[in-house]
Amino acid sequence: QPEEQRVGYAIVGLGHLSLDEILPALAQCKKSKVTALVSGNREKALKVAKQYGVPEKNIYNYQTYDQLKDNPEVQAIYIVLPNGLHAEYTIRGAKAGKHILCEKPMANTPEECRQMIEACKQANRKLMIAYRIQYEPYHAMIRDSIRQKKFGKVKFIEATNAQYTANPSHWRHVKALAGGGSLPDIGLYCLNTIRYALGEEPTEVMGYQYSTPGDPLFKEVEENVTWQMRFPSGVLANCATAYAAHENRTYKVLAEKGWMSMQPAFAYKGLSMKQSHAEGPVEYNEEPKVAEKNQFALEMDHFSDCIQQDKKPFTPGEEGLQDHIIMEAIYQSAQEGKPVKL
């Protein structure tokens, strides 16, 4: 679409994700453009605005944020703040009359998610959670293979998302800003991707949690979580997430007559897939290739399309709420030492 027809976004919070991924991805968008910036750091915002051609009058801070309502160049707000601020800025943004694209995890608690959904409903604005994996082509291929029973019935899914973090003063280690530790931050990819692939909701979860005693990184939020999920079709899922482990992002689907696996499965780029299909005694191994597309560009353009065509986003607020309900059950299970039914 020509520039003037594209949906104009205000990007809120100029941290790593905004600067390294989202703003550069806009160059590959066909329906989205950046028209405003919201930041607590004016100097940084001025620099970024110059780089991306955002006029100085469209730079806001967290106090002037609500004045976005008077700016017709902004139709959507992309919230890229620490998790604990998502609810407040979604609600204020909806009240300012803007559609909201909010980073994952949606918020800190299911209750906050419900408030966000309600605020957007009241304001008659759209709400989408930025689950980029649900807009990524390899994951769409795996989902289709599962749904079409390409390898027979799926029996078992395994997913791991781990990374190493080392800064205890970062907001990710502060409960009020992060909501939790590895589970809502990166374990969420395992949970959300499996729900997306199966198109089913777990009926029961069992969780385990561990944090190294005395480690300042994990005073407020957890280090590692493993959990299992039981799905109505009989699929069992086994998941793990870790903050103090070397990077590993894997996903494996085991079916009656074959398997599909990805490593890395949840990275921004360089995703890679293998599959194996048995026909009688012969096994075929393949490495399917799909053209790499920028996940953030796909996700933003989907939201822009929903705004322009008045459609409900594929990953609406309810999708984020459901993950938070399940994560709460995983924590509860870990605490009580027994499975929790959903």
185-224 residues near ligand NDP, rule: CB under 6 A: 185
15 vs 137, which CB is nearer to ligand NDP?
Answer: 15
CA distance 163 to 25: 23
Contact 224, 209 (CB under 8 A): yes
Contact 217, 171 (CB under 8 A): no
CA distance 226 to 157: 14
Q: Is 41 in the site for ligand NDP (CB under 6 A)?
A: yes
Contact 29, 5 (CB under 8 A): no
185 vs 323, which CB is nearer to ligand NDP?
Answer: 185
8-27 residues near ligand NDP, rule: CB under 6 A: 13-17
Nearest distance from C-beta of residue 172 to ligand NDP, angstroms: 8
Q: Is 97 in the site for ligand NDP (CB under 6 A)?
A: no
Stretch of 37-45, 93-101, 118-126, 246-254 lying at the interface with ligand NDP (CB under 6 A): 37-45
- Choose, by CB under 6 A, the member of 9, 31, 34, 82 that binds ligand NDP: 82
* Helix ranges (DSSP H) in 67-163: 86-95, 110-122, 137-147
Q: Is 297 in the site for ligand NDP (CB under 6 A)?
A: no
Nearest distance from C-beta of residue 85 to ligand NDP, angstroms: 6
197 vs 255, which CB is nearer to ligand NDP?
Answer: 197
Q: Hey, what are 160's tokens?
A: 């791991």
Angle at 83 between CA 80 and CA 87, to 5 degrees: 90
Report CA-CA distances (Å) from 147 to 53, 192, 195, 197, 251.
44, 16, 12, 8, 17
Burial of 156 (0-12, 13-18, 19+ CB in 10 A): middle
Q: Is 264 in the site for ligand NDP (CB under 6 A)?
A: no
Query: Residue 30 catalytic?
Result: no
Query: Residue 78 catalytic?
Result: no
Q: Which of 42, 43, 38 is CA-nearest to residue 18?
A: 38
Report CA-CA distances (Å) from 337 to 95, 99, 240, 241, 247.
42, 41, 17, 18, 28
Residue 288, Cβ neighbours under 10 Å: how many? Answer: 13
Considering 189, 196, 251, 331, which one is annotated as catalytic?
189
- The residue number with the shortest CB distance to ligand NDP is 15
Site string for ligand NDP, 114-143 (x = CB under 6 A): ----------------x-x-----------
- Choose, by CB under 6 A, the member of 52, 171, 208, 210 that binds ligand NDP: 171
Considering 31, 98, 104, 126, which one is annotated as catalytic?
104
Nearest distance from C-beta of residue 23 to ligand NDP, angstroms: 11
Q: Is 40 in the site for ligand NDP (CB under 6 A)?
A: yes
Q: In the complex, which residues of this chain contact ligand NDP (CB under 6 A)?
A: 13-17, 39-41, 80-83, 85, 103-104, 130, 132, 171, 177, 185
